[in-house]
Amino acid sequence: MEDTITFDLAAAPLRELNEKLQTLPGGTNQTAWRIVNPRGAHALAVGITTPVQVLIDGHAGYYAAGMNDGAAITINGNAATGVAENMMSGRVHVKGDASQSAGATAHGGLLIIDGNASARCGISMKGIDIVVKGNVGHMSAFMAQSGNLVVCGDAGDALGDSLYEARLFVKGSVKSLGADCEKKQMGAEDAAILSDLLQRAGVAAKPEEFTLYGSARTLYHFHVDNAGAY
């Protein structure tokens, strides 16, 4: 990228990097950043509120790109627990694999994971769109409230446990469904949403290759007959 600002974490502290990124003014001309020697540091590029581009050139630790609100952040490697946690808007692209709780509690934006995601991907998601090009682990979309999770590979045990109104699109197999998650008929609106997400994530697949899962809506209110499912 032209006029890219390179920040070397082997030469300066992470706190300084995050302070610079978090205090960028609106309309800044410092819109392209490259972070080198991340060495798995935690909380990389968190809390950014301006629409800048950030490349993390290597592996990232816990909560990378957390609380993102408008930035386009690329991780050229793997990401540990909680990548894009509580993201509000923007885009986070993990070029490798992601550990557990990717996109946890996030309200908006797009998270793309080129590899696999571990357990609880999209836990308590509240509006984020997540596209995983590989597999997801157990309890993915646990208590997911809204948004869309697209899995181009397989899903582990208890997919969508205690699901609310999020859509779950899975191309491969599902080991088991969680409480109150069921297979749904994909309508025209669902297919359009999926097609758009596949295009934005650069996935060459068709909506008809996926199965849609959603909430059976039996856990919204407590009923003694369902006590064993709570």
Domains of the chain, earliest start first: 5-229 (2.160.20.60)
Reading across the β-sheet that carries 32-36, which strands appear in turn? Answer: 5-8, 32-36, 53-57, 69-75, 89-94, 110-113, 126-132, 146-151, 167-170, 211-215, 181-184
Q: What are the structure tokens assigned to 115, written together?
A: 């590899």
* Separation of alpha carbons 15 and 10, rounded Å: 13
- Do residues 110 and 89 touch, judged by C-beta distance below 8 A? no
The reported pLDDT for the residue numbered 218 is 84
The reported pLDDT for the residue numbered 185 is 97
Walk along the chain (230 residues) and give the pLDDT tens digit of each residue. Answer: 458 999 999 999 999 999 999 999 988 999 999 999 999 999 999 999 999 999 999 999 999 999 999 999 999 999 999 999 999 999 999 999 999 999 999 999 999 999 999 999 999 999 999 999 999 999 999 999 999 999 999 999 999 999 999 999 999 999 999 999 999 999 999 999 999 999 999 999 999 999 999 999 987 666 667 666 65
The reported pLDDT for the residue numbered 26 is 85
Residue 40, exposed/middle/buried by CB under 10 A (0-12, 13-18, 19+)?
middle
- Do residues 36 and 58 touch, judged by C-beta distance below 8 A? yes
pTM of the model: 0.94
- Do residues 72 and 53 touch, judged by C-beta distance below 8 A? yes
The reported pLDDT for the residue numbered 1 is 43
